[in-house]
Chain A
Amino acid sequence: MDRFDPPGFLDDLTDPQKGQWSRLVSGWLDRARAGRPDINDGPRAQFFNPLTNAPGADQQVAVIAWNAFPRQVRSSSLSDRQRWRTADSDRNFQDEYCEWSVTRDPVTRKITRATFTCEGPEYWDALAALNPDKVLELYREFVSPEVRREDLFVGGEYNPLNRFNNSTSRGAMHLIQPANTLRAEIELGAAATIRRVVNGAEVTGAQELINCSGYGEAGRNSDPHIGEQVNALARQKADITLNNPVGLYLHEFNPVGWTTPDGTDAREFWKFVRGRDGHFVRAVYEVPPGKGYVVGDIKIAGRRIEFGAQIADFITIKLEGLATRIGQSTAAPFQNCKFGAQPPAAPPAPPDALAALADLPPRGRGDSASAPAAAPPNALSAESADAAERTLAARLPAALRRDAELVEATAAAAPPALLPYPRLPPEEFRTRMVSGKIMAYASPDSTFAVTKKLIDSARRSIVIGIYDFRADYMKELLKRAMRRGVTVSLMLDTNSDDDPNLFPELRALGATCVRAPSRSAHSPIQYFGNAHEKIIVVDNEIVMIQSGNWSENSIPFNEGDGEVVGDFVAGNRDMGIAMQSRELSTFFAGLVARDMRLAQGLPPDAQPPAAPPAAPPAAPGETASDIFFEAAPPAAPERLFPSLTVTPTTPVRVTPAVTPENFHETAKTFLRSATRSIRIEQQYIRGGQEAITALMEEIKAARDNNPDLEVSIIVSPKYLFGDDKRKFLRLMEDFEMEFDTNFRFLSLKHFVHCHNKLIVVDDEKVLIGSQNWSTTGVLTNREASLLVEHAGVASYFAAIFDADWELSEPTGAPPDQFAAAVEGLAEGSDFASGGVVLSSVRDYTDV
């Protein structure tokens, strides 16, 4: 064997291009073989690359097959009809390496055609890079003759989530569900070759292995079974790889019990249309014209076919492993699970640089976190972004670029198919009278100092519900607290393996770690699109509500409280409030605990188990990194503000404002109440979104009632471009907000980014927390804010706002800072030389 063939022996590429594909696959296999020795997950000595290490004469192909219907949907549904409907509603549910789309008769709504694909997205990335004309040709042949080049390519780059491949009704050209990738398959196949011994016994069960080795999603049909079967070969001391051509394949379709109106064998309507020699990657189920009936007239066990999922019940998907040198491997089993003890042998030299990868950005599990692919992306469409912007956008980090592509899709799409969230009753959001101390703080000035002080003060418990947690030094603070006997509960909206150690490390010390019940966390139980709140409760006495995540830029490591100690660390503008209130602490800790219960499939009001189970982090895979590097701002803010501590002389009115329950109404009422001034400092304000327009209407109403009302808005200019920018400026124009006078961009000379979510009204009241001004932020995510009616606290934030306002030099017209921001992107190698900050995509993610 001298090269890897394309999946299914497809002939879309020229011979030299097939060589490029082969090198790409070879690089992936090398990388998978190396694994992650640092987390006891490599090297994978029994996994091999057949190009560099030819299999022996005893080679055996092992077919590993599984049912195409998503098991996780089956498990969470009560009836067949429920599960079929769910699986047909969104490609994101179709996570068994098989996705489908159905075509219906426009009048009768009967299914006329169902298309199934198991082509990995990487192949299409490669094809688009090497032969874009072919991509268009194939779409026209297999999906619709209506497809235009601009439907598929944005700024010259192939958009896999294009409108002809992002739904269950407009076509399915290749896999798009984030977990359905070739690289996930390779990673799984390689990781499963590691034999593991725990407490002296070898781990052999399907579920036990996937739990221990962390190579996939335990809830699927595919991953546990693939892993178990591969590991069974490894236990026979075989060397293992994926058989050529590496790919995922439609295995069998066996419609037993189907009846057609005229008695024709239902198998006759199944056609493989791509692939050959038992390696098929695409199939169509369709009754030929002239039969007088359509797919929807065929019955399965007496029921008409109403869903593509009913057909999927009878499809199996496969991959092919290849075992050789059986009984000869001398690789020793690893002691303990992934993240456990070190591997038995020193890792080999890393593989050669994967040159081919440089041309093709990786994609895999977890990189389309914020929304399902339910609508065409417009943000970067040809109509809305000029060529220069498209060129610049192409340079964004992969995960950030993906997020940008999805911005408008999120706004325009039907709401993602989430579980119906059981809202808390209105009385839970009543105004509380707080007599305890109130601390106000801001980043980069004082957040770390305040947070460290409070975390270090913990004696009993810390409860955290947060969207992003990447700052290692915050992890260390928690670990120190746990060593003091403080119990830690952490709910994190994690879907990335960028920090695979966080949960295991904290869990090892006894922390309860739960993945949030959100789509962005890729939780099997999804009540929210994003769990975007930032809640920290200490000892059930103090609650911190803030805009900043625990990322390096939102809680930069400045030990001084409003003063520079050592070197100043640049960061985002963020703000927060800590409140000494048992009642509010109980409320917010209870909110997090409730979401944790939901995440575990428990009813919201159940008594929790003694310690809820720790959900594993999302399945590993090749992920577009959520970390990237940017140029640090050249200067520190001209003035740093120390935190403010207020001891009220009279009880302060404080109201929790939580999404999805009461934030929107609270914010509207709050804005309308303004008589003198409104200060808004936000990451962004999305134009063209009804819920946001409604907030602007309230400002307008307040203005109408109070002609002298001053409105000042600061937003981030970072990566603001295309439709987002146009719609924002249009919104400002529609509501008579003038640049410089009413709105400005935060100075990027002094801050990395404006990540704040602040509203101050009349220097008397402040609403601060996690809500961005987007539909999801104000209506559907899990978000948390506090409305504090205290002039001292409001004035503190107003003063910082005013300082920021002044730092934003008047320019007469909104400047275009996109190019500068893109130019400021840095390489990891620049980090050590200084002047670079480590940024998290999640600080920029559109939620």
Chain B
Amino acid sequence: MCTFRERQRFPTRNYPYHARPDAAPPDEISAEPPQANTLYRRVLGLDAQARPMTPDELKGLDDPFGRLLRSGAPFPLTLRQLLAAVDALGGTPEALANQLVFLAADGGHIPWSQETDELERFFRFAVARGSGDFPLLVSGSTALDSDANGAFLQVIGWDATNEVFHYYERLDGTFFWAGMSQHALEDGTRGQGPFDSHVNGSLVMKELRAPWIHWHAPQAGINEEALAPDDRLRDEPIFRSRVTAERLETEVVRPGIRRWNEARVRKAVGADGVWRRVPHVMRQAVTDTTVNLASADTASRLLTDDSVLRPPLSFFLNRDTLFDTLGLVPDDPAVAAVNISGRLYLGCLERYDVHRSDGSIRVEGDSHFPFLTPEPAFEDTHLIEACLQAGLLTPRFVACLSMTDFTNPVFSERRAALLRYVPEEVGGADVAATLETRFVEALREAVEAGGDGGAGRADSPEREFLSNWETEDFEAAFISRITEYFLALKAGMADPDVVDGWFRLMEHRRRRFRRRPLAEFSLTTPRTNIPEDAPPLRMNTRGRAEPIT
């Protein structure tokens, strides 16, 4: 008899990728039932219907899985078969001997009980294969021997020849090619199919930082207690070989994102030295094309009135860009030690009726680690670092952009408003200087003209940027501003009203996250009684949450 875990379906992990039941019904996958052992393509936005890939197209799939599928061997249709097929490459140049198994489940740290038996936790494996680097990442449900559509099986392979990831999914007894990294950036296919979550054509691990909430991780394992007593997964070798999530971050996902971003940057420069489609890059500097999720790293169950909770630093600012990329970091780490008393935070949990729910089953309390909040995505912040290294951007320019509304590291409409001044192309001997000059000129013109967007207003983001731009010794000045901000945060951290504002701001950001396709699972974030249409909030430089006016 199947457990609920095995029966679990993943509607967001296969064509047509609709999470919501009210979504339009899908088209037929293809005119004819798919043929086994035939690789089809269906790139949403390009292909109205699936069709077998042509021999020429197949040759373009120069990633480990593409090569495996065109090797003539029968297609492996289950996760177990797929891993066995990769194992069978041992001794050949295609060998990918190293295997790392990771386990994720939103709500996976909630122990199994009769009451939680049917809690929709969406157990899933991520299996990385490689020999050193990991060019193959397989993601599948824990129904290891199922080839049913609902028990999803997706594969992402790095194609070193073409410098792209290829995305595959198993469906209707065969495999479909759902596109490659470049499709994530093209107008017709952006946001379609797998690129609704792989927004920029890279790898996704939402929880890309300790304590890796929702993953089997050093500070919180997903162990047998999460499974029914008779669940055979307990004895499954793949389950037993799982390793902790920091290795997925360090050895698989971050390197994978870097690999693709660096390839993107290389491809963005033409042979003539001109950078094209610069806004595609810059939107990742000033908007959130996607987000990661961060949390405090002490388990919620340990939170008491007398303990303290340290919100993730990235709740307060963009630590990746400001601290790591730009080095605008206070020397003394204690400057940023913002701690909230357990009593105040627990008060918020009670006041806002914080709980988890899959829509049917309610579990009281916060997520396994508290203060779960969206943070700037690594695929955004790293792209900017790559552009710095490639010479498109200067530290000063990035700093001035990042310090615009810097107290709101995600979902900043103010920072996003700057994107309109980015030129489509830049070239010349000094592309960074050209880009800055044209950007600043356009922005000054808008300020002077008043502009429909309110650029001329005293508090406009354009003026804020210009003020940053004109700041002398910007590094020292920005570190000073950051330090003052933290002092303000610390001054407020014992104030119940201030902490209440931070909590509501966190929940506001979570609501923004939940509206995105990336928010696939109900148990990814806790729920509150704060209405979905509550006024949007932002953080001001005094460290207080305030309504966006």
Contacts and interface: CB of A to CB of B under 8 A. Distances in A.
Contacts of B224: 232, 235-236
Interface in A572-607: 600-603, 606-607
A78 interface: yes
A785 B299 CA distance: 41
Nearest to A62: B240
Contact of B218 (A66, A76, A211, A267): A66
A81 interface: yes
B135 to A, nearest CB: 11
B308 A228 contact: no
Interface string A308-323: 0000011010000000
A207 B299 contact: yes
Contact of B343 (A78, A81, A600, A609): A609
A78 B323 contact: yes
Interface string B108-129: 0101000000000000000000
A228 B342 CA distance: 24
A65 B243 contact: yes
Contacts of B255: 256-257, 301
A519 to B, nearest CB: 16
Contacts of A75: 210, 297
Given A256-B255, A420-B332, A609-B342, A228 B223 contact: yes
Contact of B308 (A255, A267, A601): A601
A419 B331 CA distance: 10
Given A601-B310, A610-B341, A267 B132 contact: yes
Contact of B219 (A206, A420, A607): A206
A320 to B, nearest CB: 14
A512 B307 CA distance: 11
A82 B333 contact: yes
B31 to A, nearest CB: 43
Interface stretch (B245-253, B274-282, B402-410): B245-253
Interface string A59-70: 000000111000
Interface in B358-399: 368, 385-386, 389
Given A224-B218, A229-B221, A79 B327 contact: yes
Nearest to B301: A208
Contacts of B98: 254
A235 B341 CA distance: 34
B306 interface: yes
A33 to B, nearest CB: 24
Interface string B207-251: 000100000001111011100000000000000000110110011
Interface size class of A (residues with CB under 8 A): 35 or more
Contacts of B368: 205
A283 to B, nearest CB: 16
Contacts of A80: 324
Contacts of B109: 205
A206 B221 contact: yes
Q: Binding site of B, secondary structure by majority: helix, strand, loop or mixed?
A: mixed
Contact of A257 (B223, B258, B341): B258
B504 interface: no
A454 B221 CA distance: 50
B251 A224 contact: no
Contact of B220 (A206, A221, A267): A206
Contacts, number: 150
Contacts of A267: 132
B384 to A, nearest CB: 13
A419 B251 CA distance: 32
Interface stretch (A554-562, A611-619, A797-805): A611-619
A78 B307 CA distance: 22
A265 interface: yes
A365 interface: no
Nearest to A222: B218
A302 B323 contact: no
A613 B306 contact: yes
A236 B229 CA distance: 11
Given A254-B132, A603-B490, A208 B334 contact: no
A409 B332 CA distance: 27
Contacts of A228: 221, 223
Contacts of B220: 205-207
B269 interface: no
B302 interface: yes
B307 to A, nearest CB: 4
Contacts of B302: 207-208, 211
B225 A78 contact: no
Contacts of B336: 78
Nearest to A231: B223
A174 interface: no
A14 B243 CA distance: 38
B330 interface: yes
A121 to B, nearest CB: 25
Nearest to B130: A256
A71 interface: yes
Interface in B46-103: 98
Given A74-B210, A206-B221, A225-B219, A609 B244 contact: no
A79 B317 CA distance: 13
Contact of A225 (B221, B259, B301, B327): B221
A610 B297 contact: no
A204 interface: yes
A208 B341 CA distance: 19
A617 B287 CA distance: 46
Given A225-B219, A314-B250, A602-B339, A302 B389 contact: yes
A67 B308 contact: no
Nearest to B313: A78
Contacts of A255: 132
B419 interface: no
B250 A78 contact: no
Contacts of A77: 333
B534 interface: no
A734 B255 CA distance: 63
A206 B306 contact: no
B321 to A, nearest CB: 11
Given A228-B221, A254-B251, A207 B298 contact: yes
A67 B248 CA distance: 12
B98 to A, nearest CB: 8
B133 interface: yes
Interface string B251-267: 11011001100000000
Contacts of B133: 256-257
B478 interface: no
B40 interface: no
Contacts of A609: 305-308, 341-343, 494
A80 B209 CA distance: 13
Nearest to B494: A607
A208 B302 CA distance: 7
Given A254-B132, A420-B332, A614 B219 contact: no
Contact of B334 (A202, A207, A221, A420): A420
A603 B259 CA distance: 40
Interface of A: 65-67, 71, 74-82, 202, 204-208, 211, 221, 224-225, 228-229, 232, 235-236, 254-257, 265, 267, 301-302, 313-314, 316, 419-420, 422, 512, 600-603, 606-614
18 contacts: A74-B210, A79-B319, A79-B324, A82-B329, A205-B109, A206-B220, A206-B221, A207-B219, A207-B302, A225-B218, A225-B219, A225-B221, A257-B259, A301-B258, A419-B333, A606-B493, A608-B494, A614-B306
Interface of B: 98, 109, 111, 132-134, 210, 218-221, 223-225, 243-244, 246-247, 250-252, 254-255, 258-259, 297-299, 301-302, 304-308, 310, 313, 319, 323-324, 327, 329-330, 332-334, 336-337, 339, 341-343, 368, 385-386, 389, 490, 493-494
Given A79-B324, A205-B368, A601-B339, 4 more contacts: A257-B254, A601-B334, A613-B308, A613-B342
10 closest A-B pairs by CB: A607-B494, A609-B341, A257-B255, A225-B218, A79-B323, A613-B307, A256-B255, A207-B299, A611-B306, A256-B251
